[in-house]
Amino acid sequence: MENKPSFIFYVFFLCFSISNSICFGGDTIYANESISGDQTIVSSGENFRLGFFKTGKASKYYIGISYNKVSTQTLAWVANREHYVNDKYSSQLKILNGNLVLLDESKTVVWSTNVKSTSSNVQAVLLDNGNLILRDGENLKLWDSLDYPSHTWLPGGKIGTDKRTKRTQRLTSWKNMEDPSPGLFSLEHDPEDSRYLIKWNRSIWYWTSGPWDGQRFSLVPEMRTNYIYNFSYVSNENESYFTYTLYNNSIISRFIMDYSGQVKQLTWLESTRQWNLFWAQPRQQCEVNAFCGAYGVCQNSLPFCNCLYGFKESSEDDWSLNDYSSGCKRRTNLNCGNTSTVNGKKDKFWMSSDMVLPANSRSVPVKSAGECESACLSNCSCTAYAYDNKCLIWTGELVDLKQHSGSDGSGDIYIRLASSEFSDGKNSKRIVIGAVVGVVAVVILAGLVLFVVKRRRLVKTTKPEGSLIAFVYRDLQNATKNFSEKLGGGGFGSVFKGTLPDSTAIAVKKLEGLSQGEKQFRTEVSTIGTIQHVNLVRLRGFCSEGIKKLLVYDYMPNGSLDSHLFKDKRDGVLDWKTRYQIALGTARGLVYLHEECRDCIIHCDIKPENILLDAEFCPKVADFGLAKLVGRDFSRVLTTMRGTRGYLAPEWISGVAVTAKADVFSYGMMAFEFISGRRNTKQNADGSITFFPSWAASVTIDGGDVLGLLDPKLDRNADIEEVTNLCRVACWCIQDDERARPTMSQVVQILEGMSEVNLPPNPKNQLKFDR
Ligand SMILES: *[C@@H]1O[C@H](CO)[C@@H](O)[C@H](O)[C@H]1NC(C)=O
Ligand SMILES: *[C@@H]1O[C@H](CO)[C@@H](O)[C@H](O)[C@H]1NC(C)=O
Ligand SMILES: *[C@@H]1O[C@H](CO)[C@@H](O)[C@H](O)[C@H]1NC(C)=O
Ligand SMILES: *[C@@H]1O[C@H](CO)[C@@H](O)[C@H](O)[C@H]1NC(C)=O
Ligand SMILES: *[C@@H]1O[C@H](CO)[C@@H](O)[C@H](O)[C@H]1NC(C)=O
Ligand SMILES: *[C@@H]1O[C@H](CO)[C@@H](O)[C@H](O)[C@H]1NC(C)=O
Ligand SMILES: *[C@@H]1O[C@H](CO)[C@@H](O)[C@H](O)[C@H]1NC(C)=O
């Protein structure tokens, strides 16, 4: 309360006596000014705002730079990461002795730019790229916030080493989702090998980009065709660093070292008011070093961390803020080494099965499981052992335990616990009574836990996460009102609309004809789950309960492309610009599948039914990865397609090995339909068949009237160059010889106008089509 009068006076004083720019949001703090309370400065193009921010519920305030055009508070930079202030009204950010400083309520300097300068008339200016600079009266730059990044790498910022000052610029994660103080994870430049490393606690690295080869990082091939970031590496006698610029400055995109231990690229989508995850490394949460702390067990789906049996969270507060690094602690101390322990009670071992074993084990030359157990028991600092024809023991805290998933080697590990964690056979009477009470308590507790877990999970599903959610069948049954609203029936099973309790709309696919066992299913599904791109439908989760196998995707409000492309009515027809964007987006999605995933994924079933449209008509390729999962019966597809060649490349029929070029063929076929607005093959009234691509190819090659090929519903309303481009690309794509077809990234370059496309040869298979 003491502060209040002075604060009111203060604001009054500020607004009254000094430059208006502070009160009305200019971009500069002049030498005679300061900001306090809710005052902010805003960059000239209004991209960024600087002021006091609160990042959690507690009243801890930080000077930060936030994205001004983003509706959920997102900080790109924090000045006083380690020293918050409690009262933003009596704290001040001001120029003092040639520096920008933050004074707390007792006028103590808690943060300063710390430059040595004798210049007067120093000012701080917030630039439109998010850089806060300090300059003197001669316009000389004294200090840049870009040189002191927090967890966000802003365009133009450098991550590297200044050889003159020996200073390293790294990104450091926040401690947790609410605390901007430096966390355990950092993204650093490795001057030896011109590569990036993600380090844990500034020491152990667990991810590397691989070296820079002039265009990309060897282990991050997906950076090659990146439409948002232009990365470059600079190394000279003074400094070496990586930097990047945005190709299009009106796209709001950020690159962060997340508190999850992953580097993430996110792009703001105003339509959904969310940061959309573009890319994350390492892909799997459990690849992050010691993510769940000591005695925590990591799994690659929510909740990522659990405690081993006999242990509980070291800090429930930290865990609830998604910071698991403090790990777990024993519920009961070990008996070993405790001199006051009576009855000679010894420790026992609890088996945890199907675990990926931590690395720092020591092997003991004994020949049986029993001897291995004794070896561990005899040393109080031994915490676990495993025996699989050889004896391994662990001493000290157990870190990096992972639940087995996919193809990692796994085994059983025996964890040392106090014997009281195990039921004791001697006092049987007490145990029976105890058991009855216990069972009742457990039932009640289980109900409670289930309730809490369920609520937690439902809340958590709303968060954008890199990993998949394992759904319970009954929940999906409820979400889809017992599978009542069918959206479509694709090649792999029917799709139903559903709504999660948090009102997120989902599409649930019931898989049919699965040819794989449980283990392969989970492996395949988790592979599909890591594939994320704006032009691919995102898999949110799955359900696997015996024979019931379901996949849960984001719901796409505008349905599939065929329903828009092939409709007879003129109203609501897709205009040319939209069609061209759909063609381009689809191609980009395929580039990602073909070239930028860890293993090349051939879609095998490109057709308008598998191109979904979101609320903005942004195309999303659906059903990728399923051909492998379900094992398609292509012979059946072929026989049902007699007469209409549809979208299938000739190699499907000739029986030679199918490559990504088969998708290129299908894409070309579909591209013709973007132009004509009707199916390629049309049965005429007299029973003869017209094949649009043949006609379109001859018009294109002869330099005829390409606008005449256009969907009549468009009334020749299109950019003739784009139509010509798409016609030519489509002709190239449907060449019989797959070597003559372009790759999808060449298609993208042509459609983007980045490279020229020659006149195509007449597709050789034209005659066959006409048959
Ligand atoms: C503060 O300094 C700026 C620039 O030197 C000047 O334009 C402004 O009038 C000054 N304001 C006051 C209240 O002195
Ligand atoms: C990180 O390293 C420092 C010493 O460099 C050590 O004191 C600290 O305990 C480590 N943090 C964790 C979580 O292990
Ligand atoms: C990418 O950045 C480099 C280095 O800053 C620059 O020379 C090049 O012109 C940029 N490329 C594009 C397409 O903006
Ligand atoms: C390195 O620094 C020196 C002194 O600051 C400067 O003269 C020189 O041009 C710099 N070299 C490069 C490649 O920037
Ligand atoms: C940049 O992005 C904006 C918003 O997405 C778009 O309207 C604009 O056309 C783009 N500019 C260029 C040159 O691509
Ligand atoms: C030793 O055992 C006694 C009795 O079981 C227990 O109360 C005490 O906390 C133990 N001490 C340590 C250091 O574990
Ligand atoms: C127990 O194991 C630790 C770690 O390997 C070792 O340093 C210690 O000497 C052992 N103690 C005994 C009593 O063997």
Relative to the CA of 30, which ligand 1 atom is closest?
Answer: 2
The CATH number assigned to the domain holding 629 equals 1.10.510.10
CB 346 within 8 A of CB 419: yes
Q: Is residue 533 part of a domain?
A: yes
pLDDT band at 537 (very low <50, low <70, confident <90, very high): very high
Residue 645 pLDDT? 47
**pLDDT above 60 for 161:** yes
pTM to 2 decimal places: 0.61
Instruction: Return the higher-pLDDT residue of 318 and 192.
Output: 318
What percent of the chain is predicted at pLDDT more than 70? 80
Q: Report, as an integer, the average pLDDT of 165-171.
A: 91
CATH of the domain at 521: 3.30.200.20
Same domain, yes or no, for 640 and 747? yes
Number of domains composing the chain = 4
Pocket perturbation via mutation, ligand 6, pick of 338, 343, 420 by most ligand atoms within 8 A of CB: 338
The pLDDT of 431-455, averaged and rounded, is: 45
Q: ∠ at Cα 331 (326, 335), nearest 5°?
A: 115
Give the whole-angstrom CA distance, residue 344 versus residue 335: 9
Per-residue pLDDT, 764: 52
Examine residue 126 and state whether it is found in any structural domain, yes or no.
Answer: yes
Looking at the structure, tell me whether residues 631 and 577 fall in a common domain.
yes
Tokens representing 3 are 């502060």
Cα separations in angstroms, 29 against 90, 111, 146:
17, 16, 18
Pair (486, 601) in one structural domain:
no
DSSP string, 400-422: -EEE--TTS--EEEEEEE-GGGS
Q: Which of 220, 191, 80 is nearest to 145 (CA)?
A: 80
109-143 tens-digit pLDDT: 999 999 987 777 899 999 999 999 999 888 889 99
CA distances from 642 to 309, 380, 491, 734 (A): 60, 74, 17, 19
Q: Tell me whether residue 510 is annotated as binding.
A: yes
Closest C-alpha residue for ligand 7 atom 9: 379
Please give the residue that has the higher pLDDT: either 466 or 101. Answer: 101
- The CA-based angle 506-402-282, given to 5 degrees, is 65
Rounded CA gap, 74 and 136, in Å? 30
636 pLDDT tier (thresholds 50, 70, 90): very low
Domain with residue 43: its CATH number is 2.90.10.10
Does a structural domain hold residue 592? Answer: yes
Inter-CA distances, 363 with 376, 383, 461, Å: 11, 14, 42
Residue 424 has what pLDDT?
Answer: 54
Which residue's CA is minimally distant from atom 5 of ligand 4?
A: 238
- pLDDT score, position 467: 72
Scored b (16 or more CB within 10 A) or e, 14-36 reads beeeeeeebeebbbebbeebbbb
* Cα–Cα distance for residue pair 233/214, rounded to 1 Å: 8
Q: Which are the contacts of 106, defined by CB distance < 8 A and separation ≥ 6?
A: none
* DSSP labels, 251-301: S-EEEEE-TTS-EEEEEEETTTTEEEEEEEESSSGGGSTTTT-TTEEE-SS
For residues 301 and 360, membership in a common domain is answered with yes
DSSP 560: B
pLDDT band, very low/low/confident/very high, at 281 (cuts 50, 70, 90): confident
pLDDT computed for residue 752 by the predictor: 87
Instruction: Tell me, using a 6 A CB cutoff, whether residue 201 lines ligand 2.
Output: yes
Nearest CA to 132 among 49, 202, 39, 227? 49
Q: What is the mean pLDDT of residues 369-386?
A: 92
**pLDDT at position 147:** 92
Most confident of the following: 12-16, 273-277, 466-470? 466-470
* Mutate which of 184, 185, 201 for ligand 2 pocket (most atoms within 8 A of beta carbon): 201
Stretch (H or E) spanning 431: helix 428-460
pLDDT at 212: 86
Q: Give me the active site residues, please.
A: 605
Q: Is the dihedral of CA 18, 24, 25, 28 positive or negative?
A: negative
Q: Which ligand is the nearest neighbour of the Cα of 753?
A: 5
pLDDT tops 90 at residue 503? no
Confidence at residue 628, expressed as pLDDT on a 0 to 100 scale: 62
Confidence of residue 67 (pLDDT cuts 50, 70, 90): very high
Answer yes or no: do 25 and 107 share one domain. Answer: yes
Taking Cα atoms as reference points, which of 593, 717, 581, 724 lies closest to residue 666?
Answer: 593
97 in the Ramachandran plot: left (φ > 0), alpha (ψ -120 to 50) or beta?
left
Query: What residues make up the domain containing 406?
Result: 296-422
Stretch 554-566: mean pLDDT: 91
Q: Which ligand is nearest to the CA of 399?
A: 2
Of the candidate ranges 82-96, 190-204, 238-252, 706-720, the one whose mean pLDDT is the lowest: 238-252
Ligand nearest to the CA of residue 327, numbered in listed order:
2
First-residue to last-residue Cα distance in the chain: 89
381 CB under 6 A from ligand 7? yes
**Residues 265/255, Cβ–Cβ less than 8 Å:** yes
| 683 touches ligand 2 (CB under 6 Å) | no
Higher pLDDT, 384 or 596: 384
The owner of tokens 């300097």 is 109
Nearest ligand to the CA atom of 155 = 3
Query: Residue 651 pLDDT more than 70?
Result: no
Domain match, 594 and 710 both = yes
**Residue with token string 């309360």:** 1
Distance 223 CA to ligand 3 centre (A): 15
The DSSP letter of residue 656 is P
Of the candidates 554, 575, 593, which is a domain's last residue? Answer: 554
| Domain membership flag for residue 499 | yes
Nearest protein CA to atom 11 of ligand 7, as residue:
379
Name the closest-CA residue to atom 3, ligand 4.
238
Which helix (H) or strand (E) segment holds residue 8: the answer is: helix 3-17
pLDDT at 70 over 70: yes
- pLDDT of residue 462 exceeding 60: no
Higher pLDDT, 531 or 49: 49
Mean of pLDDT values over 278-306: 84
pLDDT at 646 over 70: no
98, 141: one domain: yes
Residue 11 phi/psi, 5-degree rounding, is -60, -45
Question: Which residue's alpha carbon is at the smallest distance from atom 12 of ligand 1?
Answer: 18
Residue of 226 and 370 predicted with greater confidence:
370
550 and 571 in one domain?
Answer: no
- For residues 162 and 148, give the distance between their C-alpha atoms in angstroms, rounded to a whole number: 12
83 confidence band (pLDDT: 50, 70, 90): very high
**Would residue 434 count as lying in a domain?**
no
> What is residue 220's DSSP assignment?
-
Cβ–ligand 7 contact at 395 (below 6 Å): yes
689, pLDDT greater than 80: no
User: Does the pLDDT of residue 231 top 50, yes or no?
Assistant: yes
Q: What is the pLDDT of residue 65?
A: 97
Tokens, residue 764: 């050789």
Q: Which of 74-88, 180-194, 305-319, 516-530 shows the lowest mean pLDDT across its residues?
A: 516-530
Please report, as a single letter, which amino acid is at residue 177.
M
The whole-number pLDDT of residue 285 equals: 84
At residue 342 the predicted structure's pLDDT band, cuts being 50, 70 and 90, is low
Helices and strands, number each (H, E), in the chain: 17, 44
Residue 440 lies in a domain: no
Q: Would you say 176 and 326 are in contact if contact means Cβ atoms under 8 Å apart?
A: no
- Which residue among 212, 245, 755 has the greatest number of ligand 3 atoms within 8 angstroms of its CB, and so is best to mutate? 245
Residue 438 pLDDT > 50? no
CB 250 within 8 A of CB 229: no
CB 305 within 8 A of CB 313: no
Q: Which of 327-336, 601-610, 653-662, 725-734 has the lowest average pLDDT? A: 653-662
- Report, as an integer, the average pLDDT of 643-656: 56
Bridging pattern class, strands 311-313 and 328-330: antiparallel
Alpha-carbon span 518 to 545, nearest angstrom: 9
651 inside domain: yes
Residue 180 lies in a domain: no
- What pLDDT, in 10s, does the model give residues 563-620? 899 888 877 889 999 999 999 999 999 998 888 766 678 888 888 989 999 999 999 9
CA torsion angle for 181, 186, 187, 188 (degrees, to 10)? Answer: 110
Q: Which residues line ligand 3 (CB under 6 A)?
A: 230, 232, 245, 247
How far apart are the C-alpha atoms of 250 and 480, rounded to whole Å? 38
Determine the Cα–Cα distance for residues 520 and 628; give it in Å rounded to an integer: 10
Cβ < 6 Å from ligand 6: which residues?
333, 338, 340-341
Q: Read off the pLDDT band of 635 (50, 70, 90).
A: very low
Final residue before a domain boundary, out of 522, 554, 586 = 554
**Quick one: pLDDT band at residue 473, thresholds 50, 70, 90?**
very high
Considering the domain architecture, whether residues 531 and 677 belong to the same structural domain is answered as no
Nearest atom (ligand 4) to Cα of 164: 2
Euclidean distance between CA atoms 675 and 539, whole angstroms: 30
In the prediction, which pLDDT does 343 show? 57
Q: Which amino acid is at 500?
A: L
> What is the percent of the chain where pLDDT is above 90?
46
Helix (H, G, I), strand (E, B) or coil at 658: coil
What is d(CA 219, CA 512) in angstroms, rounded to the nearest whole number?
36
Q: Please report which confidence band the pLDDT of residue 652 belongs to, taking 50, 70 and 90 as the band edges.
A: low
Examine the domain organization and report whether 532 and 591 are in the same domain. Answer: no
Does residue 713 sit in helix, strand or coil? helix
Listed range (181-185, 410-414, 767-771) with the worst mean pLDDT: 767-771
Tell me: do 718 and 658 sit in the same domain. yes
Phi, psi angle pair for 640, to nearest 5°: -80, -5
Question: Which residue has the least CA distance to atom 10 on ligand 5?
Answer: 248
Q: How far is CA 114 from the centre of its chain?
A: 37
Choose one of 517, 536, 554: the last residue of a domain. Answer: 554
Average pLDDT of the residues of the chain? 81
**CA proximity to 246, closest of 268, 214, 263:** 268
Instruction: Return the SS3 of 660.
Output: coil
Same domain, 723 and 664: yes
Opening angle at CA 690, ends 622 and 682, nearest 5: 50
Q: How far is the C-alpha of 153 from the C-alpha of 160, rounded, in Å?
A: 12
